[in-house]
Amino acid sequence: MSEKYFQRLVLIVQIATVLLFVGRAWQHIFWDAPFRSLLWDEGWMSRIVESVLNLSWDNYITSVEIDGKIQSTIYGFGLFYLLCAFMALMIQKWKKVAGFFMILGAVSLTLLAALYCKERFFSVGQFFEYSIQFSTPILLYLMVKRNAITEKIVLFLKVIIALTFICHGLYALNYYPRPGLFVDMTLSILGVNENIAELFLTVAGVLDFVIGIGIFLPFRYSKYILIYAIFWGFATTFARLWANVYFDFFWQSLHQWWYEAAYRIPHFLIPLTLYLFLKNEFTSQQMENS
């Protein structure tokens, strides 16, 4: 692989990483994150609150001051994600420092996924659905550090893509309670009735599993799986905007929904990266064998 081609792949992952961090920053600064699912859990936190803060549980959960500190912490994480986005932009120049922030950002995103998992009653699929998101900064770090895409990185890519799509499929198939948002977006975009929407999501869920399994096949077969993964990742990302941004109150609805598309952009840019790399390798092998 030429250096120029490799740098194009780095750029794709870099764009994915920057938009991921900016999207999460926007969420934390302007909206909310599930910190209270842990911090307001009496079973987990009551002893800590009583022994460390010297407060009764009732006083703790009704305290305006405590709630303000929680909100400030969420805001602080938003600023941290903005810093991570900047470091992702500068990673070619500041490899060590920016690499450190990529690792730290990935850890933070993993903890965020764990909070969402707890919020959904510890549904394991909820955690691993974020695999691409919390792994993208690590991928960028590894590519820049090693200046190559190794076999281990290829395997890493396949695993995180498979986990993300399979876990998304578990919700689409209603193994976990199917989110109403899935149905609402399908109804809004396709203009079908609820029965057709549910059938569509069931088929989409099956295809998510096809992606998760088929991605490990040789490239001559998996290339079609990856092309579909790129398309479906793109569709599920921008469906948030298509279904929920309205021209009548454009800026308000965009403010509320654009970040949900932004942090999902790795869902199609990471499969695209893998596809382009494997395509280049496959073409090179064919040329050598001819």
pLDDT tens across 188-242, in order?
Answer: 899 899 999 999 999 999 999 999 999 999 999 999 999 999 999 999 999 999 9
Beta strands in the chain (DSSP E): none
pLDDT at residue number 47: 93
Question: pLDDT category, 286, cuts 50, 70, 90?
Answer: confident
Nearest to 108 by CA among 88, 138, 129, 86: 138
Cβ–Cβ < 8 Å for 269, 255:
no
Average pLDDT value over all residues in the chain: 95
pLDDT at residue number 240: 92
Residue 266: exposure state from Cβ atoms within 10 A (0-12, 13-18, ≥19): buried
pLDDT tens across 64-81, in order?
Answer: 999 999 999 999 999 999
Question: pLDDT category, 128, cuts 50, 70, 90?
Answer: very high
pLDDT at residue number 217: 96
